[in-house]
Structure 1
Amino acid sequence: MTEPEESKVRDLDARSLRGLAHPLRIQLLIALRRHGPATASMLAERLGESSGATSYHLRQLAAHGFIEDAPEHGKGRERWWQAADGGLRLDEKLRRDPDPSVRGAAALFMHELANVHTREVSTWVGNQGSWSVEWNRASDISDFTLRLTPELAEELVKKMHDLVDSYASLPSLPEDTPDAETVRVHTHVFPSPTQ
């Protein structure tokens, strides 16, 4: 879901997947990963939800171990939350699980990730005029059609992930680095009907 360090990636199982499979829970987890610790009220404002809804879903995320208290932030009455891991990995076997509720949770999770990617790309397209010429030149929205076997497609995915990981493993740029920005990288590889 995000820029995970390999050691902090959590493998989803059927139980945790069912605990995560709600659009608002996924949005809350993404917000905590990208923007750091926050309270239910802060997240409600950011996501356009009620603080009652965000509080409830944060408690559900905590019950399944996706988030935890951020004690260094909590000085007042409000509870601060932070992500408990750096990323999630969905085993493809969960999408073929005999239990329809597990398959449904996996499908909801995948659909919500596709929605997140769509919103991010649409936001970029709508706001690209406010970015520098350099950032416009350095950005990319491309698609390719290839004819591959499942083995070749899996090899392609691994090579793309290895390439992205090679950039993720570079030393972090200091906050004051000129022109440095957080960059989102999406990959999608899937079969497409030919007719």
Structure 2
Amino acid sequence: MDARSLRGLAHPLRMRILDLLTLDGADTATGLGRRLDENTGTVSWHLRHLAEHGFIEEETGRGTRRERWWRAVREARRLDTNDFREDPDSRGALSVYLHETVHRDFGQVSTYLAEDWAPEWRDAGTLSRWADLRLTPDGLTALNAELEAVVVRHREAAAEGGAAPGTEEARPVIVQLQSFPRRERDER
């Protein structure tokens, strides 16, 4: 993701809109406005802004001139925060983006915990924490790459075959991973 794209995305409402389109599929400004409790005109303006930056696109052949359907562009984007930390023009956008990402992830976990799930789904989910690792920067980078490869492998397998015949229907799953160094007590 470049600085222009980051600035185009780094707005709380735009990030929420993109998240809904990514998770739930195409929708209209009216539908999104209702789900987000926002004015349709405001949502429409942000949709056009997201489209201008290539995050979403109009779903052609659906809707009318007055009712446009929008969908997320399925394109892998990687944000290397180091590209923006020293750029004063992008630092604010990076801060907004990171804050909203953490807020979104926290909200998704909180929603999962508050919902009533069948035992097999409740038991399949996890909130794991390992605080006994000691890694170098290269070690942490390698760990993250391995974990990402596992998720990608499962995503590709699900896309190819879906759920195995005779098994319970597959559901959408969110995988959140947070890995970062922490200061030791005598460094604070």
Provide TM-score, normalisation by structure 2.
0.89
Query: C-alpha separation between the residues in 2 aligned to 1:20 and 1:163?
Result: 28
CA RMSD of aligned residues (A): 1.7
Aligned to 2:110: 122
Partner-residue secondary structure (3-state), 1:96: coil
Once the two structures are superposed, residues 48-84 of structure 1 have per-residue CA deviations (whole angstroms, 9 ceiling, x without a partner) of 2111211111111111121111012223521111112
Aligned to 1:184: 174
Once the two structures are superposed, residues 11-38 of structure 1 have per-residue CA deviations (whole angstroms, 9 ceiling, x without a partner) of x101111111101111111111111111
Query: C-alpha separation between the residues in 2 aligned to 1:92 and 1:167?
Result: 26
1:71 aligns with 2:57: no
Aligned to 2:94: 106
**Runs of 5+ in structure 1 lacking a partner?**
1-11
Query: C-alpha separation between the residues in 1 aligned to 2:75 and 2:173?
Result: 16
Higher relative contact order (CA 8 A, sep 6+): 1
Corresponding letter in the other structure for 2:51: A
Query: C-alpha separation between the residues in 2 aligned to 1:69 and 1:179?
Result: 30
Query: C-alpha separation between the residues in 2 aligned to 1:132 and 1:19?
Result: 40
1:161 aligns with 2:148: yes
Partner-residue secondary structure (3-state), 1:181: coil
Equivalent pair of 1:94/1:103 in contact (CA under 8 Å): no
CA shift for structure 1 position 179: 3.7
Work out the number of aligned pairs and report it: 180
Aligned to 1:89: 78
Which residue of the other structure, out of 134, 140, 155, is the alignment partner of 2:126? 140
Equivalent pair of 2:14/2:50 in contact (CA under 8 Å): yes
1:34 aligns with 2:23: yes
Once the two structures are superposed, residues 156-191 of structure 1 have per-residue CA deviations (whole angstroms, 9 ceiling, x without a partner) of 0001001111101102426x9634211110011111
Query: C-alpha separation between the residues in 2 aligned to 1:72 and 1:30?
Result: 23
Distance 1:90 1:31, change over 3 A: same
Query: C-alpha separation between the residues in 2 aligned to 1:189 and 1:112?
Result: 17
Percent identity over paired residues:
41
Corresponding letter in the other structure for 1:169: E
Aligned to 1:15: 4
Corresponding letter in the other structure for 1:105: A
Which structure 2 residues correspond to residues 34-53 of structure 1 after superposition, within 5 A?
A: 34-53=23-42
Equivalent pair of 1:94/1:106 in contact (CA under 8 Å): no
Once the two structures are superposed, residues 100-144 of structure 1 have per-residue CA deviations (whole angstroms, 9 ceiling, x without a partner) of 2312211211111111110000001111xx211111111100111
**Runs of 5+ in structure 2 lacking a partner?**
none
